Structure 1
Amino acid sequence: MGRKTIPHRGTWGTTEGAPSLFPSNPRVPTASLGSCPGPWCQPSRSFCKPGFLETVCPQFKKYEFGTCTGCPISLEEYAEQLKDMVTFVLDCSFSLERALEKVGLPRRHPKGLGHTGAYKTTVPCAPVAGFCCPLVVTMRPVPKDKLESLLQATCSMGGDQGRPVHIGDPELLGIKALSKPDYGDPVEWQPGDIPVFWPSPLTSLEAVSSCKAPLAFASTPGCMAMTDLKDTKTSTHRLTPETIPEVHHISQDPLHYSIASASAVQKIRELETAIAIDPGNRGIRSLLCPDELLKASLSLSHARSVLITTGFPTHFNHEPPEETDGPPGAIALGAFLQALEKEVSMVVDQRALSLHRKLVEDAVEQGVLKTPIPILTYRGESVEDARGFLCKDGDPKSPRFDHLVAIERAGRAADGNYYNARKMNIKHLVDAIDHLFLAAQKIPGISSTGVGDGGNELGMGKVKEAVRRHIRNGDVIACDVGADFAVIAGVSNWGGYALACALYVLNTCEVHGRYLRKATGPSQAPGEQSWTQALPSVAKEEKMLNILVQHRVRSGGSGVLGMEVDGLPFHSVHTEMIQKLVDITTVHV
């Protein structure tokens, strides 16, 4: 069976059962208006009249068993073979260019005399039958202050048409040099530009080559096909909060932006507001930075491997000295990361290794966790030791983890000591896990999040000046080690619950899901049932707190050995917060 591909722009319709080798879009093209290689490559069967293929394209590529064997200017001599062939018509960049010009983003021209460049990536397309190939993308440099305009412009086009699949460092797609495209010529570049990428219909050439059909034809890059059909969808498309995308900066090294729908972003902001109450009157509202929960959860959503740390040995006169705030939030987050099929590990103090192993074992037995979380320890003495722990063979180019999360973890103060809220030095009970967060700051590809409720927790160095001004004893206890994102909560467990809930919101958001999978393959129905079961719940957190009490872990502040966290009763304050977070997360707008 042969394949002929024509890049195009034009009317869009729906074709049931269309193959999903190329970037997924439920709306597929049915006719063409004009083209050059551009952003879309969703295949569909052609509904062109007989004779269309032989006349519309000035040049073709002929493939035999996956190898290009010629470039005919006419297919008339293959008329009989064409009768048994299937045609795929693909969209291009013309419609995108028009939309962007309306918001002040004129077309960037290639530096050479050829067509706009396209790049092979290391992102695999979803295999179908004999088709199996990497995604090919086009790139447009966009000024940083125009990214929002870009998203608004692509929204106006209707459906998923024209929406980017990656914003930021090209190496995250496996592209080594933007100056050396695999097809065509690089476009003009200006200082301050951000690279933005779209799927290219030139993916079809890779697909044709990979399937090794006895005979296949494809349009030559840079050629165009034209009809008198007009695009009628753009003007009638209605935008909703579920379909309007927002772009957010989540990493500087490497440069990376993420996308989620306006409704998903609003829910996560509601979660952030909910956990920011201050039941202990500590002054934590002065530490709050807007959208830290949003950026942390977006970064976690892109991560493949996550390392979580917890443990604040505030009760130094008891054994164990740990408190009930921290481990429940860490395990709740770990449970949801497991549901998303991410690798999850925990690192704790050596002296508390046995305790945390028992906590995890009991959590699995009680159904709080589905599978055990590996428990690690770190006893290094320097940032160099930390680099060796975080990276394979100590190579910064091969990190073992994409994201570090600290939830109610004792953080090092400016004088090198570790303090509880009462200024008591607990350094003798704490391993220097801070080194991991310091080392991560210099390893591209590792992001970090700190969750705290008093300013002396690992990661709160990001807001240390506010801690010193607004938190009791802040001039002494303020953590000096920062994280990329600082999530502030009235109780740190709530921050762990909120991160799990935010990940649920993102992974049930089609706008974010499409961006995560680089628009490759079909839109998969989210595993909402298993994900819902993995969310924190009053029942599961009650079990977790009971487990802690059984192992004689006490409430912070009061030292009570019972159903209490940070001096607040579980069966009123904490149950109300847990249910509120779940309600915000699962309500359908």
Structure 2
Amino acid sequence: MLLTGGLKSLLPQARRIIHCKRVRISNISGMAKVPGYTQARVVLLHKSLADDFEKFCHANSGALPLLYRSKPGEWKCTSLSSNSDTRTDHLQYRKYEYGAFTGSLESLNDYAEQLKDMVAFYLGCCSFNFEKVLQAAGIPERNTEQKRNVSVYKTAVPCYSISTFCCNLLVTMRPVPESKLEAAVLATSALKETQGAPVHMGNPGLLGIQDLSKPDYGDPVRLHPGDIPVFWACSVTGIEAVINCRSPLAFTHSFGCTFITDLKNDKFTLRSSREVPQVHCISQDPLHYSMVSTEAAKKIKTLEGLIGIDPGNRGIAHLLHPGELLKACLSLSHARSVLITTGFPTHFNYEPPEENDGPPGALAIAAMLQALEKDVAIVTDQRAMDLNKKIIEEAVQIGILKEPVPLLSYQRESADSALTFLCESGNPRRPRFDHLIAIERAGMAADGNYYNARKVNIKHLVDPIDELFLTAQTIPGITTTGVGDGGNELGMGKVKDAVKKHIKNGDVIACDVAADFAVVAGVSNWGGYAIACALYILSTCEIHDCYLRRAVGFSQLPKKTVWLSALPSVTKEEKLLKALVQLGVRSGASASLEMEVDALPFYNIHSDMIEKLLQEVQH
């Protein structure tokens, strides 16, 4: 039973009640959470394992915030409580021998001799400490409403291993109304000595959790209509590590019987308020939300504004959807494998017919994805394979790419060709790519043809790569982004109504194939540069970094220098454009073999845009 009556006012004297064992209590969540006293999970290990376990806690501090480590045989913890004795301060203990649970105990007094060589670890616990801040933020406590313990699940996310301590992350789950997601993040991210902000919001399958009705610890908690499952790293992770360590003897508290400290939750040190978190939905199937700091989001919004100018006076202002760049890049940041396509053969009377808007932007994206250690490949027309191979080789020599990007082609051979291309053995549960990007790629119009800006049908020069984007819409877990500057590019189907209304020849040329996100730019290459810059900003955002790695392991920020070197630069893009001129790749609007893109000179137009984007990144 939960002790929720008059004993609430007796904390921390509640420990004395536990010592005397005069009241029958099954757990202490009701005793502590209303007054707001901090609770901690306790692990007791032989001193020979203590150093490694402490390193394990520091290596996975998001799940295992270490409040205190005792000396061998020390049972007082004066920094957390004035009258504590960890041998008797728990309602119930669990005993483990060589990793196996061998019994529950009401105290550890019978193990006085063994305890002389054991060390106690006190780990910050979110399970009950969060309730006060969530309640203050107006977020309903579904587990309390249902008179249940918080649900705890094992995930498929591996912790950073130290010696014999290794396990997957464990998480608590709380249902949160969708309208309250950001409030829940803001409320909990401020708590430093507990697990802080969520590590996942949305579909539990993305954590490897198959059934929310079957928690590994605690009780199942029902979601109400409109609730989103939100997951926080859990210090029960430490117990799993102890089990996997197979120590000859170890003790922990039982679930729900945490250590009550004298500290009030509102006495906790707050995290830096310099970066305030935002929440954004990046996928509906599966449902997935991501986090970013307000500072980083503001920078990416500025990038979007910079590339949204219209030097060709095409009317692209009507196509702009604010926020698309941020959401596209948040999704890319979570992706493991990305497929990029580009190529617009607008110059059908020349060989090669490709224009030079598209490939530079595609390579800028690929370079940053390589630096972020993601798998990346490029798919293009079969007839243009040799040309693209040469372009990739030049990009490596120039220093844009650190290594060649795999080059693929796609042909429709059967009704299942696209599915087979995108998924292992054609199984939609095993996609090869998490994200598809089309940048300045000829897109199919409503009549099945492909048109350049002058309404000339160039279908004979275009392979049906659109089918990959159409099929991706039916495969959970694959997100798509289209980058364009005129509305006839693959992915711009998302804004086709505006294209038909505001773009010259739009009623004919508008691409009919939509992407999940449409990044519109005055020149498509600029969209590619902006994506590369936005990915850098996200990677250097502490809030996003922690969320991305599920708060386990170490920050990726030390790789900042590598990411910085992968950004586009005026020098690299100048060299690439010269190489494209040598390969006969022409300017889009003018068909000239000069240092220009879309009839806009590289110097003072494109070079200035690159510098402005870089200035915002480094601001």
Matched, 1:362 2:389: no
1:191 is aligned to 2:225 = yes
- The structure 1 residue matched to 2:497, chosen from 465, 468, 471, is 465
> 1:492 Cα deviation (Å)?
0.2
Indicate yes or no: 2:64 matched with 1:41.
Answer: yes
Alignment of 1:477-516 (within 5 A): 477-516=509-548
1:34 maps to none
Aligned counterparts, 1:153-552, within 5 A? 153-158=187-192, 161-231=195-265, 233-234=267-268, 239-240=273-274, 242=275, 244-380=276-412, 384-552=416-584
Note if contact 2:52-2:163 (Cα within 8 Å) is conserved in structure 1.
no
Residue of 604, 608, 618 corresponding to 1:572: 604
C-alpha separation in 2, matches of 1:129 and 1:235: 31
Change (3 A) 1:382 1:245: farther
- The one-letter amino acid paired with 1:273 is G
**Which whole-Å CA distance do the structure 1 matches of 2:537 and 2:530 have between them?**
10
Distance 1:383 1:83 in 2: 71
Of 226-235 and 184-193, the range deviating more from structure 2: 226-235
> How far apart are the structure 2 equivalents of 1:502 and 1:510?
14
Does 2:166 match 1:143? no
Structure 1 residues 164-198: Cα deviation after superposition (integer angstroms, max 9, x where no partner): 00001000000000011111211132111111001
* Alignment partners' CA distance in 2, 1:389 and 1:560: 36
Partner of 1:96: 130
Q: What residue is the counterpart of 1:116 in the other structure?
A: 150
521-530 or 443-452, which deviates more: 521-530
Q: 1:357 to 1:237 in 2, by over 3 A?
A: closer
Whichever of the two has the greater Rg, that structure is 2
Contact 1:117 1:139 in 2 (8 A): yes
Q: CA deviation at 1:437?
A: 0.2
C-alpha distance in 2 between matches for 1:382 and 1:284: 37
**Cα offset, 1:160, TM superposition:** 7.3
Q: Contact (CA 8 Å) 1:488, 1:495: kept in 2 or not?
A: yes
Q: Does 1:105 align with 2:139?
A: yes
Q: CA RMSD of the aligned region, Å?
A: 2.2
Q: Deviations over 1:533-588 (max 9, x none)?
A: 0001001111111111110000001011011100000011000000111110122x
Q: Choose from 100, 113, 132 the match for 1:67.
A: 100
- Contact 1:64 1:215 (C-alpha < 8 Å) held by counterparts: yes
CA contact under 8 A between 1:260 and 1:511: conserved in structure 2? Answer: yes
Q: Which residue of 1 aligns with 2:54?
A: 19
Residue number in structure 2 paired with 1:10: 38
Give the secondary-structure state (helix, strand or coil) at the position aligned to 2:56.
coil
Query: Residues 228-255 of structure 1, C-alpha deviation per residue, up to 9 Å, x if partnerless?
Result: 2334545866512x2x111000000000
Q: Name which of structure 1's ranges 139-148 and 103-112 shifts more when overlaid on structure 2.
A: 103-112
Give CA-to-partner distance per residue, 1:238-285, whole Å, 9 cap, x none.
512x2x111000000000000011111111101000100000000001
Paired position in structure 2 for 1:35: none
C-alpha separation in 2, matches of 1:573 and 1:19: 55
Do the aligned partners of residues 460 and 256 (structure 1) sit closer, same or farther apart at CA in structure 2, a change above 3 Å counting? same
CA distance in 2, matches of 1:26, 1:138: 16
**Contact preservation (8 Å) 1:111, 1:186:** no
Which segments of 5 or more consecutive residues in structure 2 lack a partner in the other structure?
A: 1-27, 41-50, 78-83
Aligned CA distance change for structure 1 residues 568 and 404 (closer, same or farther; 3 Å): same
Which of 543, 564, 581 is matched with 2:613 structurally?
581
**Taking structure 1 as reference, are residues 431 and 249 closer, same or farther at Cα in structure 2, changes over 3 Å only?**
same
**Alpha-carbon distance in 1 for matches of 2:112, 2:479:** 57
Q: Check 1:458–1:301 CA distance in 2 against 1; reply closer, same or farther (3 A cut).
A: same
From 88, 107, 112, the equivalent of 1:79 is 112
Change in CA separation of 1:161 and 1:24 when aligned onto 2, cut-off 3 Å: farther
CA distance in 1, matches of 2:283, 2:571: 36
Cα distance in 2, alignment partners of residues 239 and 301 from structure 1: 24
Partner of 1:53: 86
1:29-87 Cα shifts (integer Å, max 9, x gaps): xxxxxxxxxxx533454356177211211111111111111111111122232232222
- How much does 1:114 deviate? 5.7
Instruction: Please state how far the C-alpha of 1:155 moved relative to its aligned partner.
Output: 3.7
Which residue pairs with 1:3 in the alignment? none
Q: Does the CA-based 8 Å contact 1:22-1:125 persist in structure 2?
A: no
- Aligned-partner SS, 2:436: strand
The total of aligned residue pairs comes to: 565
Corresponding residue SS for 1:71 = strand
**Is the contact made by 2:169 and 2:237 (CA closer than 8 Å) also made in structure 1?**
yes
Does the aligned pair in 2 maintain the 1:20–1:126 contact within 8 Å?
no
Tell me the percent identity.
59
Deviates more, 1:46-55 or 1:263-272: 46-55
